C-alpha cells in the first residue's frame, strides 16, 4: 500500500509514541510504502526547525525523524500539478498522492479530509487509517 502522510501527522508521530499518528506511521513503515516529494520534505524540515517545536523535540529527535524519512520514503517527482484544496498550501499532499499513485493520504487537516475520496485516493485521519483494511 502506497501512502502519503502529511507533515503534521509526521510531527505528531514524533511527539508521542502512543498516539494515533505514531501508530499510523508505524503501520505505514511496516506494511506499506511511504511516499515523499521535495516540497513535502522541505516543509517537514522547515517545521522541524521552527523554534516553537524545539520545546517539545530536541535536535536529535528532529534529526532522527528527517533521517528516517530520507532513508525509507520513496521520492516522487511531481509531474502533474493539482489545485483542488481550499487551502492551496495543502495541494502538495494531493499532488504527491496523485503522482505517486497512493492508495491513502493520512492527515488530520479538515481542508484535505473534506475531499475524501480524491481521484481514487482515500483521505483518512490517522485513526481511520488504523481501521483501514490492508489489501
Mean pLDDT value of segment 41-46: 97
Return the pLDDT at 135.
Answer: 65
What confidence tens digit (pLDDT) does each residue in 73-89 have?
999 999 999 999 999 99
Mean pLDDT value of segment 110-116: 98
- Between CA 94 and CA 114 the distance in angstroms is 12
Q: For the chain, what are the domain ranges?
A: 2-131
Mean pLDDT value of segment 106-110: 98
pTM of the model: 0.96
Kindly report the CATH number that applies to the domain delimited by 2-131. Answer: 3.40.50.1010
Return the pLDDT at 44.
Answer: 98
Return the pLDDT at 49.
Answer: 92
Amino acid at each position: 500500500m502506497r501512502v502519503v502522510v502529511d507533515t503534521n501527522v509526521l510531527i505528531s508521530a514524533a511527539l508521542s509514541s502512543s498516539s494515533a499518528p505514531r501508530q499510523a506511521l508505524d503501520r505505514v513503515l511496516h506494511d506499506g510504502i511511504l511516499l515523499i516529494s521535495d516540497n513535502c520534505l522541505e516543509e517537514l524540515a522547515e517545521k522541524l526547525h521552527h523554534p516553537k517545536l524545539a520545546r517539545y523535540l530536541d535536535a536529535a529527535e528532529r534529526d532522527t525523524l528527517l533521517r528516517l524519512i530520507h532513508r525509507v520514503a520513496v521520492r516522487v517527482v511531481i509531474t502533474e500539478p493539482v489545485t483542488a484544496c481550499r487551502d492551496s498550501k495543502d495541494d502538495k499532499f494531493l499532488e504527491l498522492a496523485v503522482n505517486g499513485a497512493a492508495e491513502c493520504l493520512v492527515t488530520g487537516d479538515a481542508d484535505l479530509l473534506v475531499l475524501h475520496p480524491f481521484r481514487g485516493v482515500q483521505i483518512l485521519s490517522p485513526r481511520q487509517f488504523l481501521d483501514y483494511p490492508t489489501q
